[in-house]
Chains A and B, each alone.
Chain A
C-alpha cells in the first residue's frame, strides 16, 4: 500500500511516495513546473477560455 512520505525538508513530495516496481512506478508523474502551471492563475485563465471554446465546438458538432 502506497504511503505518502515527506521529503528531507518535511514537505509532501509528489514523487517520493512512488515505490520501485509498483504499478505507480510505470507511469508518468508531473514535474514541479507542470504542477505549478496547473495552479498558475494567469495561465489557467487562458486555459479556461480554451476549454470553453473546445466544449462549445464539441456541442456545435454534436447537435444534428
Chain B
C-alpha cells in the first residue's frame, strides 16, 4: 500500500482527492491536508458579496464527504516538506500543524509516497500598505476572496445603500490592490454585480463607480487580452470590456499599482510614473497572491526551499524558469506534467505551481515599478491540471508507468469564464467567455495567438443560466453525489 498526500482541498486539491479515492480504491491511502473545514465554490462568492446568496449556499463541510470516500482528512496546514526524509529515515514526509479536529496547534509528520501541492495562494494583503496585515484583510477595504470576506462585503455594501437611500452620494472603487495582482475576473464580476444591485435597489443615480486595475488595458484579464468574433469583426476584449463599463456609466483607471490604502482613499502609481489618489466610500481590492510559505528541508536538515519553491513561494515544476525576455517567450515554457524537477514524486496543481512568467506583456512604470497582471490559473484550469496530475500519479502508483502519463499545459488547454451581472433568471445579463488556449500561441495561431473558433465572448441572460448551472453542478460534483464523474472539469 502506498500513500498519496494532497495539500489543499480547493478546486485542484479536491478534484485530485476525489479521483484518487475513486481510482485507487482500498489498495492505497489518500490523505488530504487542508486548514479549512469547509469547501467553498469561490465563483459564487461574488453573489454572497452583494447579499444575493448566503455563505451556506456556497460552502459545505468537507469531513462527511471525505468520510464516505475513505479519504483520510486532516484539518491542518502544511508547514514544511522533507522530500528526502530525515537522518534516521528515508521516508519523505510533510510536517503539518492542526487547525481543527480538536488538535489545534499540534504538529504531526505525515509520510508520503506521492505528494500533490494544491494549497492555493496566500492572500497577500500585507504587500500593500493599509490593505491588510499579512494574510488578514485591513479595515478600510473589503474582499470577496473567501466566503467570510464576501459576507462582510455584503454587510458594508448594505450600509452604503442605506446611506444612498438617505441622500448621501457614495463612491465605489473596485479592482486590484497591487501592481502584481491576478484574478481581475473576480473583481470585474463584482463591480458589475454591485452596479446591478444598485440599479435594483433604485440608488444607482447616487453612486460613482470606478474600476482600478493593474492591467495595461481593460480586458487584459492577465492573459494579454483575447480576441473573438463579434458583429462581423474579430473584436479585442479591450473593446468588449470598455463597452461594458461605458454602457453602465462606470469610469476606469488602468495600469495602476495601488501602494497605499487609507480610510477613504487609495494612493496609486500609474505606468507613466505619476502618483495619484482616488477617494472611495466602498472599496473591494483583490490582494496579490503568494505561495503559502512552506519550507523544504534536505535529509541533513539543510534548507532547500529555493530548490523546491520559486521566490514567490509557488512550487517549481517542469517549466522554463530561465527568466528570458518577453520576445523569447514560448508556449513550451509552460509546465505540462506539473512534476517537480527535483523530486519526481512531488507534483503541483492549481495556483500552487510557479508560472514561468506572466502571460501579459510585462510593464514597468516610469519609476521602474512592475505593474503587470500575474497569470490567472483558478477554476477550470486548476481542475484540469489536477485531473492530469492525479491521472499520472495513479498510473505511477499502480505500476503502469514510472513517468507522468498525462499533461495539462496552460498553453494547450482552454478556459471558460462566466461573469454575472445580477443573479436573476430573467433580469441582469452575464458575460460568457471561452479562450483557447489560455497562453497565446502566436506560431500556431498567427495574429491573435488563439483559436478564433474556440475563443468567444457574448453577453446575455443565457450566460446567467450557465452561471447558475455551473454553481449547482460543481457543488453537486464536489459533494461527490451520484453521477459526479459525469460532470466535466
- Given contacts A52-B466, A61-B414, whether A37 and B239 have CB atoms under 8 Å apart is no
Q: Taking the nearest CB of chain B, how far is it from the CB of A42, in angstroms?
A: 11
Cross-chain contact B243 with A30 (CB below 8 angstroms): yes
- Given contacts A27-B239, A28-B239, whether A1 and B463 have CB atoms under 8 Å apart is no
Does B311 lie at the interface of the complex (its beta carbon under 8 Å from any beta carbon of A)?
A: no
- Given contacts A27-B246, A58-B416, whether A51 and B239 have CB atoms under 8 Å apart is no
- Given contacts A24-B245, A54-B434, A62-B413, whether A2 and B460 have CB atoms under 8 Å apart is no
Q: Which residues of B contact A12 (CB under 8 A)?
A: 204
Q: Taking the nearest CB of chain A, how far is it from the CB of B408, in angstroms?
A: 6
Closest to A47 in B: B462
Residues facing B in A1-24 (CB within 8 A) are: 1-4, 12, 14, 17-18, 23-24
Closest to B463 in A: A51
* Most A C-beta atoms less than 10 A away, residue of B208, B249, B384, B461: B249
Cross-chain contact B406 with A64 (CB below 8 angstroms): yes
Cross-chain contact B488 with A59 (CB below 8 angstroms): yes
Interface range, A side: 35 or more
Q: Which residues of A contact B406 (CB under 8 A)?
A: 64
Task: Choose, from B16-24, B84-92, B186-194, B451-459, the stretch at the interface.
Answer: B451-459
Q: How far is the CA of A36 from the CA of B146 in the complex (A)?
A: 35
Cross-chain contact B426 with A41 (CB below 8 angstroms): yes
Q: Taking the nearest CB of chain A, how far is it from the CB of B242, in angstroms?
A: 4
Q: How far is the CA of A2 from the CA of B253 in the complex (A)?
A: 13
**Interface class of chain A by DSSP:** helix
Does B329 lie at the interface of the complex (its beta carbon under 8 Å from any beta carbon of A)?
A: no
Residues facing A in B247-262 (CB within 8 A) are: 247, 249-252
Q: How far is the CA of A58 from the CA of B456 in the complex (A)?
A: 11
Q: Taking the nearest CB of chain B, how far is it from the CB of A4, in angstroms?
A: 5
Closest to B451 in A: A61
Q: Taking the nearest CB of chain A, how far is it from the CB of B470, in angstroms?
A: 9
Q: Which residues of B contact A58 (CB under 8 A)?
A: 414-416, 434, 436, 454
Cross-chain contact B384 with A24 (CB below 8 angstroms): no
Q: Taking the nearest CB of chain A, how far is it from the CB of B484, in angstroms?
A: 15
Q: Which residues of B contact A48 (CB under 8 A)?
A: 462, 465-466
Q: Which residues of B contact A3 (CB under 8 A)?
A: 205, 208, 249
* Most A C-beta atoms less than 10 A away, residue of B239, B243, B412, B461: B461
Q: How far is the CA of A48 from the CA of B429 in the complex (A)?
A: 12
Cross-chain contact B454 with A27 (CB below 8 angstroms): no
Q: Which residues of B contact A50 (CB under 8 A)?
A: 462
Cross-chain contact A62 with B384 (CB below 8 angstroms): yes
Q: Using an 8 Å CB-CB cutoff, how does the interface string of A37-51 with B read, 1 for contact, 0 for none?
A: 111010111111011
Cross-chain contact B461 with A62 (CB below 8 angstroms): no
Cross-chain contact A64 with B243 (CB below 8 angstroms): no
Cross-chain contact B251 with A64 (CB below 8 angstroms): no
Closest to B466 in A: A51
Q: Taking the nearest CB of chain A, how far is it from the CB of B7, in angstroms?
A: 24
Does B305 lie at the interface of the complex (its beta carbon under 8 Å from any beta carbon of A)?
A: no
Cross-chain contact B243 with A38 (CB below 8 angstroms): no
Does B432 lie at the interface of the complex (its beta carbon under 8 Å from any beta carbon of A)?
A: yes
Q: Which residues of B contact A26 (CB under 8 A)?
A: 242
Does B157 lie at the interface of the complex (its beta carbon under 8 Å from any beta carbon of A)?
A: no
Q: How far is the CA of A12 from the CA of B205 in the complex (A)?
A: 10
Q: Which residues of A contact B488 (CB under 8 A)?
A: 56, 59, 63
Could you give 29 example pairs across A and B, Cβ below 8 Å?
A1-B208, A1-B251, A12-B204, A18-B246, A18-B249, A23-B251, A24-B251, A27-B242, A28-B243, A29-B243, A29-B247, A38-B459, A39-B429, A39-B460, A44-B460, A48-B462, A48-B465, A51-B462, A51-B466, A54-B416, A54-B454, A55-B434, A58-B415, A61-B414, A63-B384, A63-B413, A63-B488, A63-B489, A64-B388
Give the B-binding residues of A (Cβ under 8 A): 1-4, 12, 14, 17-18, 23-24, 26-30, 37-39, 41, 43-48, 50-52, 54-59, 61-64
Q: 7 more A-B contacts (CB under 8 A) besides A30-B243, A59-B414, A64-B388?
A: A1-B210, A12-B204, A47-B460, A47-B463, A48-B462, A54-B454, A64-B406
9 closest A-B pairs by CB: A24-B246, A62-B413, A27-B242, A47-B462, A48-B462, A38-B460, A17-B249, A58-B414, A44-B462
Give the A-binding residues of B (Cβ under 8 A): 204-205, 208, 210, 239, 242-243, 245-247, 249-252, 384, 387-388, 406-408, 412-416, 426-427, 429, 432, 434, 436, 454, 456, 458-463, 465-466, 488-489
